[in-house]
Amino acid sequence: MLTEENVVLAKISEQERVPLVELKELISCGKVVILNNPRHKESESCAVGKNLSTKINVNLGVSPRASDLDEELQKLNAAIRLGADTIMDLSLGDNMDEVRNSILRASKVPVGTVPIYQAAYQVELNNHLENMKVADIFEVIQKHAEDGVDFITVHTGLTRKALEHVRKDRVLGVVSRGGSILASWMYANKKENPLYENYDQLLELARQYDLALSLGDGLRPGCIADGSDRAQFDELITLGELTRRALEAGVKVIVEGPGHIMLNEVTMNVEVQKKLCHEVPFYILGPLVTDIAPGYDHITSAIGSAIAGASGADFICCVSPAEHLGLPDLRDIEEGTVSGKIAAHAADLVKGHKKALQRDLEMAQARKELNWNRQFSLALDSERAQRIFHMKNSTQETGCTMCGDMCAIRIYQEGEERDALERCGRS
């Protein structure tokens, strides 16, 4: 039957080259999630999960000290142009509602948020985070769902038990903003995590709005020394249990992962998450493979997320060069988006996605032919490749300024061709 849902699934099936029947099976067991709140009419659906190409998310949003809606919309367009599959609006400030709605209305890709930020913002302004009410949190979540937000991060697995490990063992405590809000509230009120305690209510709300839950890792390690530690895995075990409850309730669920961890722990982290969380999509925030490269964390993160993707992570959160230093500007967003796209694409080659392999093959052929325009059109960031090339090469010659006439590709081909001709002549 040509329902709207079937049209969407048929399109995804074709784009991803996954048979429709297999896609439906993967969705029904939760291994693939379709991000689309029906109220977000401006957006196409985005499918994340098993056997699909690796997706990337780009974080945007104003902050109380740097707030310019127009700039955020520019960032949104740049991110989408460069291949962002989803956007998260992480805004903080008095104009959160306006920014979120503007982004939703302008975005043709699904949009996610972290509602706890908004719930905390008003009380925190008065330095009274402990006064945040549970009802306030759910009110914000419902508002976001009504606005059309497609997925929300909820740090449901951060429990009092897990916090004990943070307190005892950690160098850098809690670095997730949502996690720190909840932890601070839990300390002040001597209560359990309200999103954990009221998880059934959350599931009900999510189902009602066809809202996907992204179970956040509020205890993700913020430094190499805290990577893959007891607090992190305690939270992950809880997230696994909550994932099962979401699956049973028929709610779309994905799970978020670290953070800062050493390179050789990345694959292990993906495998443990996949196992404990019933193979639902894994949304990875980094991982950053070292702490000491502020200004270049799009690169430390691309290293980690490429390995994670190749190991089975489904969804990569891009990190910009401004990470750990301040709010990203337009150029940071561009750089971060492409870095995430590189990681996702490198992972897709490993996952064996034919479209990905084909694109690299075509690039190799364009290089063989020294066909620059074809190379630009196949590049992940065509504009940048073209700009750099034209800046460095003012002449109309075939090679580039790297080698001049001593272009390796040209020298080898001419040698081989001459040899082939001579062989023909002899035969």
Q: How far is residue 87's CA from residue 103's CA, in Å, rounded to a whole number? A: 9
DSSP at 32: E
Q: Which of 105, 278, 359, 374 binds a copy of itself (CB under 8 A)?
A: 359
Q: Is 202 in the site for a copy of itself (CB under 8 A)?
A: no
Q: How far is the CB of 135 from a copy of itself (least distance, A)?
A: 21
By CB under 8 A, the residues from 322 to 341 that bind a copy of itself are 322, 324-327, 329, 338-339
Q: According to CB under 8 A, which one of 13, 74, 180, 201 is a site residue for a copy of itself?
A: 180
Distance CA 179, CA 193 (A): 10
Assess 416 for contact with a copy of itself (CB under 8 A): yes
Q: Report if residue 380 touches a copy of itself, rule: CB under 8 A.
A: yes
CB of 249 to a copy of itself, least distance (A): 30
Residue corresponding to tokens 């301040």 = 326
User: Residue 183: exposed, middle, or buried by beta-carbon count in 10 A (0-12, 13-18, 19+)?
Assistant: buried
Of the candidate residues 28, 208, 373, 401, the single one contacting a copy of itself (CB under 8 A): 401
Q: Which is nearer to a copy of itself, 41 or 368 (CB)?
A: 368
Region 53-112 residues binding a copy of itself, contact defined as CB under 8 A: 63-66, 92-93
End-to-end CA distance of the chain: 64
Interface residues for a copy of itself in 264-283 (CB under 8 A)? 264
Q: Tokens for 278? A: 């019933």
* Residue 357 structure tokens: 């392999």
Torsion region of 148: left, alpha or beta (phi above 0 gives left; psi -120 to 50 gives alpha): left
DSSP line for 264-315: GGHHHHHHHHHHHTTT--EEEE--BS-SS-TT-HHHHHHHHHHHHHHTT--E
**For a copy of itself, the closer CB: 8 or 380:** 380
Task: Name the residue nearer to a copy of itself (CB basis): 172 or 249.
Answer: 172
Q: What are phi and psi of 137, to 5 degrees?
A: -60, -50
Q: Using the rule CB under 8 A, which residue among 241, 367, 371, 427 binds a copy of itself?
A: 367
Residue in 53, 57, 159, 176 binding a copy of itself, rule: CB under 8 A: 176
Given 3-state DSSP classes, what are the helix, strand and coil percentages for the chain, each rounded to the nearest 5? 55, 10, 35
CB of 240 to a copy of itself, least distance (A): 24
Q: Identify residues 136-175 at the interface with a copy of itself (CB under 8 A).
A: 167, 171-175
Q: Please give the structure tokens belonging to residue 350.
A: 């490993």
Using CB under 8 A, pick the residue from 13, 95, 142, 184 that binds a copy of itself: 184
Identify whether the C-beta of residue 141 lies closer than 8 Å to the C-beta of residue 147: no
Binding mask 111-140 for a copy of itself (x = CB under 8 A): ------x--xx--xx---x-----------
Site membership for a copy of itself, residue 307 (CB under 8 A): yes
x-marked contacts with a copy of itself along 2-41 as a string, rule CB under 8 A: ----------------------------------------
Q: Which residue(s) pair with 112 in the sheet?
A: 88, 151
Q: Is 196 in the site for a copy of itself (CB under 8 A)?
A: no
